[in-house]
Amino acid sequence: MIKIGPAGTSGLGYENGLNKCVELNLNALEVEFTHGVHMNNSTAKEIGELAKKSKIELSIHCPYFINLASTEKSKVNASKKRILDSCERGNYLNAKYIVFHAAFYQKFSKEECYSLVKKEIIDMNKVIKKNKWNVVLAPETTGKRSQFGSVDELLRLRKETKCELCIDFSHIKARDNKIDYDELFKKLKNINHLHCHFSGIEYTEKGERRHLITPENEIRELLKYIKKYNKDVTIINESPDPFGDCAKTKKLLKIFN
């Protein structure tokens, strides 16, 4: 099954945003805690119940201010608190996937950075289990080469910590200056459900610059490969017009059904 939905509500608020999803026949929405977790558990529960009633799958994007491999312990602890606060809200929202950009390499080697991130993921998993939160950590593929988060790093992390991952197709393209869908989907063959991000993207040799409106030909290409490899996916659109691009994706999906 292919589920499609926007990143955030484009300023509509969650009640109106969920109603907009229903209107457009979308079945997913990612709650954006971009600048902080400014939602209490009571509100999260209300939104979660409305989403369930509307048959819309929720997920969460954690705040951007996260670095699990910082040289400053206080920043690591603050990062973990932002992720765990998101996990707690996710439990009340009934949002399974808790997405975040895990770290920057900074002065560390890639292997050193990996070890630091792995340690903190394992520690957070213990907190999630202790609190019986029905969520799963999903570090995201990142769009800059200075950031931790290649496909191979996250697949290894998933294997060694039992976390999940978020595949951002546009970030992979920006990070590597290309995307080979055959190679990618072969690497992901053992994952039953893929939680994904997608949009158009502007990038340089150093990687991502900004998200763009998603070109129709790029949507067609992605859908072709999803169908080719028969993947069960949720696609969250992160373009400047996520509702418009989701509607465009739904329309193009009919061609492949």
> Residues 233, 2: contact at Cβ < 8 Å?
yes
* Contact of 101 with 140, CB cutoff 8 Å: yes
Nearest residue to 3 (alpha-carbon basis) of 35, 30, 40, 41: 30
Q: What CA–CA distance (Å, rounded) separates 159 from 191?
A: 11
Q: pTM of this prediction? A: 0.96
Alpha-carbon distance of 188 to 206, in angstroms, equals: 25
pLDDT digits (tens, 9 = 90+) for 129-157: 999 999 999 999 999 999 999 999 999 99
150-178 residue pLDDT tens: 999 999 999 999 999 999 999 999 999 99
Map residue 203 onto helix, strand or coil: strand
Domain ranges of the chain: 2-256
Question: Per CATH, which fold does 2-256 belong to?
Answer: TIM Barrel (3.20.20)
Q: With cut-offs at 50, 70 and 90, classify the pLDDT of residue 205.
A: confident
Residue-wise pLDDT for 28-69, tens only, equals 999 999 899 999 999 999 999 999 999 999 999 999 999 999
Q: Give pLDDT, residue 257.
A: 64
